[in-house]
Amino acid sequence: MEYSESASAEREQTQVNAASRKPRILLAASGSVAAIKFGNLCHCFSEWAEVRAVATRASLHFIDRAALPKGVVLYTDEDEWSSWNKIGDSVLHIELRRWADIMVIAPLSANTLGKIAGGLCDNLLTCIVRAWDYNKPLFVAPAMNTFMWNNPFTERHLMSIDELGISLIPPVTKRLACGDYGNGAMAEPSLIYSTVRLFVESKIQQGGSSNVH
Ligand SMILES: Cc1cc2nc3c(=O)[nH]c(=O)nc-3n(C[C@H](O)[C@H](O)[C@H](O)COP(=O)(O)O)c2cc1C
């Protein structure tokens, strides 16, 4: 099957299923200190949606796996490689892209922002993004030190991801974990949740299903 044919078949299949099920949200964390709120973020979404989670190696320093809701599977780079042995086996980053209606990267680190903007894909999270079907929404909530946020690279990288069709949930100004005061703190999990949910509900009101393509 040609790529475009298979992508369209994938979308049709999701549309058929979506009418009768909860939205499928793929939550991903990268290695910002704000990943300590990832468990809270998963809880915010898991009443309303089916949730699967992805974590970069660096983010695992901040995530308390025991704080994740029961039933939310957290996928890491190890799972990407342990689940594949030979041609014919499923490829995790493709399976997760197929499964998800929406992807939300929160927190988005400066490093992962730069990699997405440059098209790099050297871990599970960035492979999902590189293989993403941009007919489906992808939200990011950056979180970094104010000097990182104000670095000229940030604006360039944000412009590149905007061109891809990625939606920004902007950071906020407050006292940061490192002690500096300024912009760069991740939006609160409740705000990230309400932004995504309002987006989905507005699509449904416009005549779509919970599948927001
Ligand atoms: C204690 C600590 C806190 C950090 N906090 C942040 C942060 O808030 N934002 C950020 O972009 N990077 C932060 N970093 C740096 C990232 O963890 C580092 O760039 C890492 O390579 C990111 O990898 P990832 O993008 O693959 O998750 C922090 C590093 C440490 C050691």
Would you give per-residue pLDDT tens digits along the chain (213 residues)? 344 555 555 554 555 445 579 999 999 999 999 999 999 999 999 999 999 999 999 999 999 999 999 999 999 999 999 999 999 999 999 999 999 999 999 999 999 999 999 999 999 999 999 999 999 999 999 999 999 999 999 999 999 999 999 999 999 999 888 888 999 999 999 999 999 999 999 988 887 665 665
Yes or no: say if 136 and 211 are a contact pair by the CB < 8 Å rule: no
CA-derived radius of gyration, the chain: 17
Task: Let me know if residue 64 belongs to a domain.
Answer: yes
Which of 59, 111, 120, 147 to mutate to test ligand 1, by most ligand atoms within 8 A of the CB atom?
A: 111
The CATH number covering residue 165 comes to: 3.40.50.1950
Task: Let me know if residue 212 belongs to a domain.
Answer: no
178 is catalytic: yes
Task: Let me know if residue 213 belongs to a domain.
Answer: no
pLDDT for res 2: 44
Task: Let me know if residue 181 belongs to a domain.
Answer: yes
Domain with 50, as residue range(s), is 22-205
Q: Which residue in 42, 93, 127, 157 is the catalytic one?
A: 93
Task: Let me know if residue 16 belongs to a domain.
Answer: no
Identify the residues whose C-beta falls under 6 Å from ligand 1.
30-34, 56, 58-59, 109-112, 143-144, 148
Question: In angstroms, rounded to a whole number, what is the distance separating the alpha carbons of residues 185 and 34?
Answer: 8
Task: Let me know if residue 12 belongs to a domain.
Answer: no
The closest residue, in CA terms, to atom 28 on ligand 1 is 32
Distance 106 CA to ligand 1 centre (A): 13
Yes or no: say if 128 and 53 are a contact pair by the CB < 8 Å rule: no
pLDDT digits (tens, 9 = 90+) for 3-61: 455 555 555 455 544 557 999 999 999 999 999 999 999 999 999 999 999 999 999 99
Task: Let me know if residue 111 belongs to a domain.
Answer: yes
Task: Let me know if residue 130 belongs to a domain.
Answer: yes
44 is catalytic: no
Domain count, the chain: 1
Question: In angstroms, rounded to a whole number, what is the distance separating the alpha carbons of residues 45 and 62?
Answer: 19
Amino acid in the structure at residue 118: G
Angle between helix axes 110-118 and 152-164 (nearest 10 degrees) is 50
